[in-house]
């Protein structure tokens, strides 16, 4: 389900300080003639490739197209962690996931963490947040937490129901759950009106025997290793596209309200998403993957001073939101941020993308440490290459994709291009000591599981058996409990590397 949450930052009459104060990183823009309003709209699970060709041919997105025509769209924008809470933590902090230690959907920012919105408020902006925020610690289900903590355990259990949709509700059936039926009808109507069913692409799958071991683990835990007909896959994807169309309509309500209030020409609007949605690409659904469908997000900016009808091909990511928001407000940028302002590429004052490439690194970093994936995962994305490393860099083979010739990411060419692989790995290690980070996550998972187990007490066996993996667990409960015991007894993984 796509969820829309909105952050609204309204400009006050107070003057913003000039950027470039001592000890602060200088922003791209010195000041707007008048302090603009800023509105950030963020949805859940929106595949960024739908906002440009050829993905834009599948589903009608009129308000996203409106933003493209009247603003700047970033064609290669990525999440810094393809799961809700860690991704949003990166967006609100401006820091990479390993720096905030937002390891999974339960572990995000401290509730008192100073976000870009707090900084803007201190500098005279009146601010408000609406909707699902989900960037602080302490949320999500017990199942989600335990599955993330135990991903290093030597077992393989299905954690989800088999993905399916029912696109044609039977009118003769008694409608007991009226609200659910209403939502179903709305989805079907969106499908019929907004989705070009014939244009929906059936993704190519590698044979199970040829899948990368981490991908196989993800497909199995997501209950996607069985047989699916083309119609099933197409229907799942169609239903997802219909939800994207509905999200576009929600965005449109906000844009129309700004126009009716006479605020559209005074407001910078930014639209993005916390991550994408696989929608059965690579035999998976949900996110939790570095493949394009999961990691590629939409990012569009329009408003006063923003270039219209501009497409930027440089790679950017969600940590860039923090410095961009402060830059718009004319607030000095802290030096410790992982992100960079996007204004040099989108402002009417800067019309040279090459200059932006000199101000923004030619790479982005994304990492994942949560459930449904049995190894910490790290992605380095450059203009041509996508390099994916796992765990300690040695125990699991890396992946390398040339997105210019293989946009569907079907051929791992890491072994074919060892020099490129080595060079990208060295670059990745210069950004993040990923073997050490992986070891820290291993140790964190054990410590958290032990605390949880102790809190359950004598009811442990019953509780753990009835989490989302219960259908598989209950077949051999002692076997799986023993596997966890062996994992807990193994030596500490938190070592200096």
Q: Which tokens belong to 76?
A: 């290669």
pLDDT value, residue 189: 60
pLDDT at 6: 44
Among 70-84, 156-170, 322-336, 461-475, the range scoring the smallest mean pLDDT is: 156-170
The reported pLDDT for the residue numbered 19 is: 37
Window from 105-119, 184-198, 425-439 with minimum mean pLDDT: 184-198
Predicted confidence band at 378 (pLDDT cuts at 50, 70, 90)? very high
CA dist 407 and 403 (Å) reads 5
Q: What is the pLDDT of residue 4?
A: 34
Q: What is the strand order of the sheet 377-381 is part of?
A: 364-368, 377-381, 385-390, 399-402
HSE-CB of 354 using CA atoms within 13 angstroms: 0
| Maximum pairwise Cα distance, the chain | 71
Angle at 131 between CA 127 and CA 134, to 5 degrees: 95
Confidence of residue 182 (pLDDT cuts 50, 70, 90): low
**Taking residues 210-236, what's their average pLDDT?**
89
352, pLDDT greater than 70: no
Task: Please state, in angstroms and rounded to a whole number, the distance separating the CA atoms of residues 450 and 456.
Answer: 10
Band of residue 284 on the pLDDT scale cut at 50, 70, 90? very high
User: Does the structure show a pLDDT above 50 at 243?
Assistant: yes
The pLDDT value recorded for residue 353 is 63
DSSP string, 316-378: EEGGGHHHHHHHHTTPPBPTT-S---SHHHHBTT---HHHHHHHS-S-EEEEE-STT-SS-EE
User: In this structure, what token pair is assigned to residue 345?
Assistant: 């590429």
Q: Which of 84, 85, 224, 371 is catalytic?
A: 84
What pLDDT score does 56 carry?
Answer: 84
Model pLDDT, residue 403: 96
3-state DSSP assignment of residue 72: strand
CA 228 from centroid of its chain's CA atoms: 26
The answer to whether the beta carbons of residues 213 and 396 sit under 8 Å apart is yes
Is the bond leading into 140 cis (omega within 30 degrees of zero)? no
- Rounded to whole angstroms, the Cα distance separating 36 from 276 reads 29
Catalytic site includes residue 371: no
Q: Which of 113-117, 136-140, 316-320 has the lowest mean pLDDT?
A: 136-140
Instruction: Give mean pLDDT, residues 247-257.
Output: 89
> Where is pLDDT greater, at 313 or 130?
313
As given in the structure block, the two tokens for residue 295 are 């990691």
Radius of gyration of the chain (CA): 23
pLDDT, tens only, 98-128: 999 999 988 999 999 999 999 999 998 988 8
pLDDT at 201: 85
Q: Is the pLDDT of residue 192 over 90?
A: no
Q: Say what the pLDDT of residue 209 is.
A: 87
Q: What is the pTM of this model?
A: 0.89
Chain centroid to Cα 52, Å, comes to 18
Q: What mean pLDDT, rounded, does the chain reach?
A: 85
Percent of the chain scoring above 90 in pLDDT = 61
* pLDDT of the residue at 25: 47
pLDDT score, position 469: 92
The pLDDT tens digits of the residues spanning 358-367 come to: 789 999 999 9
DSSP state of 197: G
Range scoring the smallest mean pLDDT among 75-79, 244-248, 352-356: 352-356
Q: What DSSP character marks residue 36?
A: P
Is residue 170 predicted with pLDDT exceeding 60?
no
Q: Can you give the pLDDT at residue 196?
A: 75
pLDDT band at 133 (very low <50, low <70, confident <90, very high): confident
Q: Kindly state the average pLDDT of the residues 28-53.
A: 82
The total number of residues shown for the chain amounts to: 497
Helix (H) / strand (E) containing 493: none
Residue 336 token pair:
């410790």
Tell me the residue ranges of DSSP E strands in 374-482: 377-381, 385-390, 399-402
Q: What structural domains and CATH numbers belong to the chain?
A: 4-434 (3.40.720.10)
């Amino acid at each position: 389900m796509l969820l829309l949450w909105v952050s609204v930052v309204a400009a006050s009459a107070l003057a913003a300080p000039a950027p470039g104060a001592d000890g602060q990183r200088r922003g791209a823009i010195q000041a707007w003639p008048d302090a603009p309003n800023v509105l950030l709209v963020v949805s859940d699970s929106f595949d960024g490739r739908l906002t440009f060709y050829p993905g834009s041919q599948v589903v009608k997105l009129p308000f996203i197209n409106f933003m493209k025509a009247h603003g700047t769209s970033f064609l290669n924008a990525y999440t810094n962690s393809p799961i809700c809470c860690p991704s949003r933590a990166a967006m609100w902090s401006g820091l990479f996931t390993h720096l905030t230690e937002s390891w999974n959907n339960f572990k995000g920012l401290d509730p008192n963490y100073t976000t870009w919105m707090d900084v803007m408020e201190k500098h005279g902006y009146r601010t408000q947040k609406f909707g699902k925020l989900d960037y602080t610690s302490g949320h999500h289900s017990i199942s989600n937490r335990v599955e993330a903590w135990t991903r290093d355990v030597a077992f393989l259990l299905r954690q989800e129901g088999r993905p399916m949709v029912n696109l044609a509700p039977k009118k003769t059936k008694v409608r007991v759950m009226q609200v659910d039926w209403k939502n179903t009808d709305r989805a079907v109507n969106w499908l019929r009106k907004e989705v070009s069913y014939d244009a929906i692409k059936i993704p190519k799958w590698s044979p199970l025997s040829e899948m990368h071991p981490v991908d196989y683990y993800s497909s199995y835990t997501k209950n996607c290793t069985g047989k699916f007909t083309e119609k099933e896959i197409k229907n799942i994807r169609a239903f997802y596209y219909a939800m994207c169309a509905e999200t576009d309509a929600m965005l449109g309500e906000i844009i129309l309200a700004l126009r009716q209030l006479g605020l559209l020409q005074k407001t910078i609007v930014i639209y993005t998403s916390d991550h994408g949605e696989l929608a059965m690409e690579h035999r998976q659904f949900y996110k939790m993957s570095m493949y394009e469908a999961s990691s590629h997000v939409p990012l569009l900016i329009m408003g006063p001073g923003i270039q219209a009808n501009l497409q930027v091909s440089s790679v950017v990511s969600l940590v860039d939101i923090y410095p961009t928001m402060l830059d718009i407000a004319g607030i000095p940028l802290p030096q410790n941020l992982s992100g960079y302002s996007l204004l040099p590429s989108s402002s009417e004052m800067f019309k040279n993308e090459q200059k932006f490439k000199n101000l923004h690194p030619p790479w982005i970093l994304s990492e994942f440490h949560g459930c449904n994936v049995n190894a910490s995962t790290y992605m380095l994305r450059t203009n041509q290459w996508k390099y994916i490393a796992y765990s300690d860099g040695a125990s699991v083979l890396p992946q390398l994709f040339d997105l210019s010739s293989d946009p569907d990411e079907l051929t791992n060419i890491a072994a074919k291009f060892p020099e490129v692989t080595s060079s990208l790995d060295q670059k990745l290690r210069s950004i993040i000591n990923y073997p050490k980070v992986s070891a820290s996550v291993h140790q964190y998972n054990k410590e958290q599981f032990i605390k949880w187990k102790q809190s359950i007490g004598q009811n442990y066996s019953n509780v753990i058996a009835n989490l989302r993996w219960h259908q598989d667990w209950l077949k051999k409960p002692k076997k799986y409990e023993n596997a966890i015991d062996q994992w807990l007894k193994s030596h500490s993984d938190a070592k200096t590397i």
